[in-house]
Amino acid sequence: MPDISGPFAAWRLVELHDQQVLQARLHPGVPADDPALSEWLARWPGRRYVQSGGDGVEITLTRRARVRTRERWWLHALLLVLTLATATVAGCLLVPGDPMGWAESAGHAIPVPARYDLRSVAPGLWFSLPLLCILGAHEAGHWALARRHGMDVSPPWFLPAPPLLSPIGTFGAFIRIRSPLINRAALLDMGAAGPLAGFVLAVPVYLAGLMMSQPLAQRFSGASLAVMTGDGALPLGESILLHVLRAATPMGHAPLVLLHPLAAAGWFGLFFTALNLFPISQLDGGHVVYSLSPRAHRVASRATLALLLGMGWLYTGWWFWAGLVLMIGRGKLAHPPVFDPGFRLDARRRAVAWACLVIFVIAWVPIPFVL
């Protein structure tokens, strides 16, 4: 490590879990672009954060203190393959004609498909492949930015689910962060990258699927969208964004649109993006709001919990989501603190944070399933 005493007026070196963190302040009058400082920083084997404050230029440097955890890639790959299988089976239920022959086991205690050949399963890939690409892009966004900030983070864990328990064949995906959060800039980059990546992919998937969907002449249960299920058609709600996207296509004039499995994948991709952007606790939206202001996070978390409890009278699934959020936070709405809360967001990062909140507003479906 370079000699610390040279460029800094004051400094401290601490070890946090798997990270060494050096916080320092430059000598008065030394600018952040000083050539000698730049040469010194170039020899630092890790991440660098520099900003000007009231007491001069402040620098935070991080580097790994020990080797990253060895990953069980075989297990991640196995879960991905299993999730692809269960989501493909679920996707076959969204295709008219029952290609896997679920109806043939009607009346059994545990329904099972009658046909497993490639020709029968292939229609479900219209749903499973784009859905897992959206979920994978979401988690890959988190993973890539966390690694960029030097964090020890697991690859995505995909969670397969039989269609009897989940109509889409999966409980989602997640990554595990094993390193401390250094500052609010790192928190925002990691927290916002996931929903932004998923959103950018889900919108064209939904639009492409709309062009392949079937317009119908009459509304169903007051809904404008529906998707096939094993028991018939399931009416779906619309967000502001979904309404605008449908209006921009030839489907905009149809009273009811029966979504193609590709469009259903885009719908669920946008739905999960909005779920994660609720500004509460440790969800992605909670990370975003905390990065803007820890005080605003406390207010937003309480307001969001009240919203979920109130909206639960219109759709009971919001009560489940509120309970899950509380479980993730171990009964609390608070966000874990970052090591250096004084590090400020620049204008670009603040714009990204507000963009995430706008995406939440336009992508959230207040009543997603019209039961």
What is the per-residue pLDDT across 277-289, written as a single tens digit (0 to 9) for each? 999 999 999 999 9
pLDDT at residue 93, rounded to an integer:
80
Q: Tell me, yes or no, whether 235 lies in a domain.
A: no
Q: Are residues 15 and 148 in the same domain?
A: no
pLDDT tens, 163-172? 778 888 899 9
Same domain, 79 and 57: no
Q: Model pTM greater than 0.85? A: yes
* Judgement on whether residues 108 and 155 belong to the same structural domain of the protein: yes
Residues 57, 199, single domain; the answer is no
Task: For 351-371, write each residue's pLDDT tens digit.
Answer: 999 999 999 999 999 999 876
Beta bridge partners of 345: none
Number of domains in the chain: 2
Rounded to an integer, the average pLDDT of 85-102 is 76
Q: Which residues form the domain of 171?
A: 73-210+266-363
Residue 218, pLDDT score: 77
What does the pLDDT average to over 223-240? 84
**Co-location of 125 and 199 in the same domain:** yes
Q: Once rounded to an integer, what is the mean pLDDT over residues 38-45?
A: 80
| Residue 312, CA distances (Å) to 149, 220, 230, 362 in order | 38, 22, 26, 20
* Per-residue pLDDT tens digits for 96-135: 666 555 555 555 545 556 566 566 677 889 999 999 999 9
* Confidence at residue 112, expressed as pLDDT on a 0 to 100 scale: 58
Mark whether 58 and 80 lie in a shared domain. Answer: no
> Mean pLDDT, the chain, as a whole number?
86
Q: Is 222 exposed, middle or buried (0-12, 13-18, 19+ CB in 10 A)?
A: exposed
- Determine, yes or no, domain membership for 15: yes
Q: Which of 267, 290, 268, 306 is nearest to 338 (CA)?
A: 290
For the chain, the first-to-last Cα distance in angstroms comes to 62
User: Closest Cα partner for 176 from 145, 139, 138?
Assistant: 139
pLDDT at 108: 52
Assess if residue 94 is contained within a domain: yes
What CA–CA distance (Å, rounded) separates 201 from 157?
20
157 and 102 within one domain: yes
Tokens found for residue 238: 């619309």
Query: Look-up: residue for tokens 């939206």?
Result: 285
CB proximity list for 101: less than 8 A, separation 6 or greater: 113, 114, 115, 120
Q: 18, 17, 4: which is closest to 64 by C-alpha?
A: 18
**For position 250, what pLDDT does the model report?**
87
| Between residues 31 and 322, the one the model is more confident about | 322
SS3 177: strand
179, amino acid identity: S
Per-residue pLDDT reduced to its tens digit, 188-197:
999 999 999 9
Same domain for 155 and 178, yes or no, is yes
3-state secondary structure of 343: coil
What mean pLDDT comes out for the span 299-305?
A: 94
Among residues 64, 82, 100, the one where a domain terminates is 64
**236 occurs within a structural domain:** no
Task: Note whether 162 and 311 are same-domain residues.
Answer: yes
Domain assignment present for residue 98? The answer is: yes
Do 314 and 353 lie in a common domain? Answer: yes
Residue 116 is predicted with a pLDDT of 64
Lowest mean pLDDT among 182-186, 216-220, 310-314, 323-327: 216-220
In a domain, 340, yes or no: yes
Q: Is residue 234 part of a domain?
A: no
- Count other C-beta atoms under 10 Å from residue 360's C-beta: 22
Q: Are residues 271 and 151 in the same domain?
A: yes
Q: Which helix (H) or strand (E) holds 19?
A: strand 19-26
Does residue 244 fall inside a structural domain? no
Question: Which residues contact residue 315 at a Cβ distance below 8 angstroms, ignoring those fewer than 6 apart?
Answer: 366, 367, 368, 369
- Domain boundary, last residue among 28, 46, 64: 64
| Same domain membership, residue 43 and residue 104 | no
